[in-house]
Structure 1
Amino acid sequence: MAISGGTTPGGMTPAALTQVRTSTESEKDAEFQEHEKILSPDFLSVAQITELLVVDVDGVQRKLETFLNFKNIKTCLKEAILLDYYVSGFLWARGMDFSIIQYSQFMTLLDMLLHNLKTLHMSLEDSLKWLGEVMAEIGPSHLQKNEKWNIFDIKQANAVIDYLKISLFQHYKLYEFLFFSTREEIVIGTEVFFLFLP
């Protein structure tokens, strides 16, 4: 890259201006990629959501069981609990009369919250903070600067947060137990419990 010896009225060389512009563009690209990651509708496809919208409650459960590749739903408590989590979430969203993109974002949000708990070992406080940051991005923008990223209006965003409070967050310790307790701990816990019975 050629560097000019002259300066602009602000005292910056064209090369310096290019570097500033490139840095700013890089930041915008990184921000856009982060938004794309947050908004990525990768948990359920549009076709899968469309299939779920035309079936009854039992159909939603059967289809999600298939989509999630749960094979031992009758014998695996963990699969049964996770299936219930997603089925309940989808049925709640259906009551909200969401658009396809809103279904997609909501179901992805449900999945990401579990992923954060299971993989990143996020505490309840960290999960609440993360949710606040995500909802600030996909919810209504108070500055209207990122309107293209707004998925939910204020009423919908508040409803999503309220739903998560009574579903995942109210039972957060149980989900932690589901992911992090070994079978031996459960057995030992049961044995200790029975020691204290009369």
Structure 2
Amino acid sequence: MSLFSFGKNKVKQEATEEDRLKEEKKQLKVMVEEMVEGLTKPYSVQSIQRSIKDQIDKKRYANPSKDHYKYSLLKNVIYFLEVEKEIKRTLSSLLRGEKFDSVPALDQHILSFQSRIRHSMDELLTANHDKYYHKYLATEEGINGLEREFIDHSVLHSWYIDACFYLQSKPMKDLPESVPKRWIVSEIERTFMWKLSQYLYLHNYEGTKGELK
């Protein structure tokens, strides 16, 4: 076989593998979309918006000053983001077939890292202060951005946990080894975000507007 033929066959093989990977990802996208559709179907636009409005109203009532309200939102946002990191690791483990011994064992695992993060909030607030100070805390308009992040992640937090219990009970079988599990997790995240935009922002949610002193 000539060097030219070898190179040509190698390119052809790589193209075939790339096509196969694209097809595998396409099929996985469908699986993820079906899972997310099933998990979010019990929620209605009205129920989510009502729940968010209740949370925001309670938080404003408990923190009547704007500064206290901002820091309360920030604390929740950082908590949600840290929990999501752990949940994504848990999702990756479940996708690798590393199921927990039982549903209560998974529940205890989630409660454990939630508790650990909750007890580390002072350190996490200090570590993230500069990042969020310039992004949100230093401006009057920053409160709107914090509210938006709080709203997004309060919903995503619940959906991610639902996904863990779903994969514990109904694991995705025969997943292709060529597709990293972190890619599937990122696809779950992307699909959740797309669904969230449908529930909230395509319906012109106005539930968080209000004045604080």
Q: Which has the larger radius of gyration?
A: 1
Q: Name the structure with the higher helix share.
A: 2
Question: How high is the TM-score relative to the length of structure 2?
Answer: 0.27
Answer 1 or 2: higher relative contact order, Cα 8 Å, separation at least 6: 2
